[in-house]
């Protein structure tokens, strides 16, 4: 068991934050809510025209866009119609299931996946397990977390490796 945990920890640590070093383009982007910087990065993609629709997945049921991102008024010409608040999922697995339904409805041909660096390995593996095999998913990870977050993600990834992927 410890061998498998160490393997997952290595995979988590191999992921690098890419939001500041790489550009990403796709029809849609999904932000997996949960840590700082994710929503802002997703809205930056939308405001630059790198994506046409932004899905915020795992939003608290009663939250509005202004609750989640108080800086919204400063983004000027963006339309709230281009931001979808997905409020049903509570896990990464749920994020993938619910996002698939939304991207199919929006007719998105590809997707930018925005999450934190420690979470990216598990999130991408989960989305790849749920989405059609030929669907293009572009990783975009923001820096967040510390060594403790990596240990927790490795444990979650070990569980997901049996259950999801």
Residue spans of the domains in the chain: they are 2-102+118-145
**CA–CA distance, 111 with 126 (Å, rounded to integer):** 14
Bridge partner list, 142? 116
**CA–CA distance, 36 with 83 (Å, rounded to integer):** 18
Tens-place pLDDT, residues 31-62: 999 888 899 999 999 999 999 999 999 999 99
**CA–CA distance, 40 with 98 (Å, rounded to integer):** 21
User: Which whole-number Å values give the CA distances from 108 to 32, 45, 51, 54, 105, in the listed order?
Assistant: 17, 15, 10, 11, 8
Average pLDDT, the chain: 94
Tokens of 102: 């939304």
Q: Is the pTM of this model over 0.75?
A: yes
Bridge partner list, 111? 28, 137
Residue 117 in this model has a pLDDT that exceeds 90: yes
What is 2-102+118-145's CATH number? Answer: 3.40.50.620
* Cβ atoms 39, 68 nearer than 8 A: yes
């Amino acid at each position: 068991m410890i061998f498998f945990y160490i393997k997952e920890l290595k995979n988590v640590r191999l992921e690098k934050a890419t939001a500041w070093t790489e550009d990403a383009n796709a029809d849609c982007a999904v932000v997996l809510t949960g840590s700082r910087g994710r929503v802002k990065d997703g809205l930056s993609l939308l405001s630059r025209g790198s994506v046409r629709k932004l899905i915020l997945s795992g939003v608290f049921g009663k939250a509005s866009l202004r609750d989640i991102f108080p800086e919204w008024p400063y983004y000027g010409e963006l339309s709230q119609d281009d931001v979808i608040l997905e409020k049903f999922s509570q896990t990464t697995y749920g994020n993938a299931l619910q996002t698939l339904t939304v991207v199919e409805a929006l007719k998105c041909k590809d997707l930018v996946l925005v999450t934190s660096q420690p979470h990216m390995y598990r999130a991408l593996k989960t989305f790849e397990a749920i989405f059609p095999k030929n669907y293009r998913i572009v990783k975009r990870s923001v820096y967040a977390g510390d060594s403790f977050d990596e240990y927790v993600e490795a444990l979650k990834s070990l569980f997901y490796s049996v259950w999801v992927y």
